[in-house]
Amino acid sequence: MINVAILGYGTVGSGVFEVIRTNKESISKRVGKEIRVKYVLDIKDFPADDPVNEVLCRNFDTIVNDPEVSIVVEVLGGVEPSYTWVSECLKRGKSVCTSNKELVAKHGAELIALAKEKNANFLFEASVGGGIPIIRPINESLSADEITEITGILNGTTNYILTKMADEGLDFDSVLKDAQEKGYAELHPEADVEGYDACRKIAILTSLAYGRQVDFEDIYTEGITKITDADIKYAKALNMSIKLLGTSRNIDGQVYAMVCPMLIKKEHPLYSVKDVFNAVFVKGNMVDDLMFYGRGAGKLPTASAVTADVVEAARNLGRTLPIIWSKETLELGSIGDFQHAFFVRMTSDTEKEAAEKAFGAIEVVRLEENTEEFAFVTPILKEKDFQKKIKDFKSVNSVIRLNAK
């Protein structure tokens, strides 16, 4: 028998408990031994008929000091006390499986190294993409490839908001309120709508793809709060859609990363990803284009990914699975050297001649209901060159980058 402890009985923790109980027989067959949840740590009280009461634990020390517990599931969220508790578990030789993107983004390399030192595992499939398998494919299935690009819709809340704005012609504030009422957005949604959540996730994927630590603080990040219904209309006129993308690219040995709203063409596989769904587009130098798609959040999809890590850890007790992610920092390329075309909206049509002079062969975009405004797409430019030129214009309403693919 292999004993598991779960730290936290919130949405994901209760999901993991449910998955292990419901699929106990098939999970145990895959492992070759019975998997049992011995403890669930939480300070809250639960209804008398909740089966968690049979294994409820109030004290972390009980778990970390129990030699019968081989695997710990951390689903508390946040950096503390998660970091301290996960570190203590790994030091005792207990494998840890987590969905905690904040923890992984900040301390992933350190915790992987600690797990290796103690012949344990630190696994985090659910930290990016919820139920979408993406961590293990990058770490294992694509190990023969050099990854040249990762671009993803990594946040379901923002994708839902942009989808509703596009499909129903609603403004940002109205859709955000709707998302909050449906439970897709938090009361304080800054982590989602300002792009911080997606930033941590692309930092994790980039660190894995290139084997060195990428600090999320170093990644240029821009959210969707400035996207308007007018921007959506222009996107349709261009036969494009606006998505919040986390992207990293290896260009001639230099890795660039950023998170921001981008216009993508209909031909791009991410174009049709709607509502709360997530998707990750990966390009390898041998395998070429791959797409991973599914529910990026939610109780059972995320719990399924966490439990799959539990199975993997149970199969490899006493043996560390190889994950190449060193503590050495990967120095990202300057965002100023990253190249895009840019969509620009200006208040007045009088800026056309100046825009052509500054940017060269621009593509003018017209809306029948907005004849006074002047909008155009630039040629592909380095970010620093565009920013230098656009400073000379005083009537800029909006700027959105175009995905290069």
Q: Which amino acid appears at position 9 of this protein?
A: Y
Average pLDDT over residues 362-373: 85
Residues 197 and 247 in one domain: yes
The closest of 71, 64, 65, 52 to 9, measured between CA atoms, is 52
Do 224 and 100 lie in one domain? The reply is no
**153 and 291 fall within a common domain:** yes
Range 172-189 average pLDDT = 90
Look up the CATH number of the domain holding residue 90. 3.40.50.720
Main-chain phi, psi angles of 105, to 5 degrees: -60, -40
Q: Is residue 274 predicted with pLDDT exceeding 70?
A: yes
Percent of the chain at pLDDT > 70 equals 100
Could you say which DSSP state residue 378 is in?
A: P
Give the model confidence (pLDDT) of 74-132 as tens digits: 999 999 999 999 999 999 999 999 999 999 999 999 999 999 999 999 999 999 998 89
pLDDT of 369 > 80? The answer is no
282, β-bridge pairs: 150, 290
At 218-255, the pLDDT tens digits run 999 999 999 999 999 999 999 999 999 999 999 999 99
Q: Is the dihedral of CA 178, 370, 340, 405 positive or negative?
A: positive
- Integer angstrom CA distances of residue 229 from 93, 170, 238, 364, 366: 53, 6, 14, 19, 15
In this predicted structure, the answer to whether residue 359 has a pLDDT above a threshold of 80 is yes
Mean pLDDT, range 318-341, rounded to an integer: 95
Residue 405: the pLDDT is 64
Q: Whole-angstrom Cα distance, residue 165 to residue 266?
A: 17
Average pLDDT over residues 336-359: 91
Question: Of 295, 321, 347, which closes a domain?
Answer: 295
Whether residues 85 and 174 share a domain: the answer is no
Return the number of other C-beta atoms located less than 10 Å from residue 58's C-beta.
10
Domain end call among 284, 309, 329: 329
Is 363 a residue whose pLDDT tops 70? Answer: yes
**Is the peptide bond prior to 261 cis by the omega test (within 30 degrees of 0)?**
no
Q: Catalytic site residues? A: 201
For residue 348, give the CATH number of its domain. Answer: 3.30.70.120
Residues 379 and 267 grouped into a single domain: no
Domain count, the chain: 3
| C-beta of residue 237 within 8 angstroms of C-beta of residue 366 | yes
Q: Which residue has the tokens 């145990």?
A: 28
Residues 144 and 286 in one domain: yes
Q: Structure tokens of 40? A: 């669930």
In this prediction, residue 217 carries a pLDDT of 95
Q: What is the overall mean pLDDT for the chain?
A: 94
Asked whether the beta carbons of 234 and 365 are under 8 A apart, the reply is yes
| 159 and 26 inside one domain | no
Q: Average of pLDDT values for 351-356? A: 88
Residue 351 has what pLDDT?
81
* 144 and 291 part of one domain: yes
Ordered DSSP codes for 4-64: EEEE--SHHHHHHHHHHHHTHHHHHHHHTS-EEEEEEE-SS---TT-GGGGTEE--HHHHH
User: Do 111 and 195 fall into the same domain?
Assistant: no
pLDDT for the residue numbered 322:
93
pLDDT, tens digit (0-9, with 9 covering 90-100), for 53-77: 999 999 999 999 999 999 999 999 9
Using the predicted structure, report yes or no on whether residue 13 has a pLDDT greater than 90: yes
Q: 345 lies in which domain range? A: 335-402
pTM greater than 0.85 (yes/no): yes
Tell whether 257 and 237 lie within a shared domain.
Answer: yes
Asked which of 307, 329, 351 is the last residue of a domain, the reply is 329
CA angle (166 as vertex; 165, 167 as ends), nearest 5: 100
Alpha carbons within 13 angstroms on the beta-carbon side of residue 23 total 18
Same domain, 256 and 307: no
Indicate whether 19 and 123 sit together in one domain.
yes
Average pLDDT in the 125-151 region?
Answer: 93
Beta bridge partners of 279: 153, 293
pLDDT range class, residue 348, cuts 50, 70, 90: confident
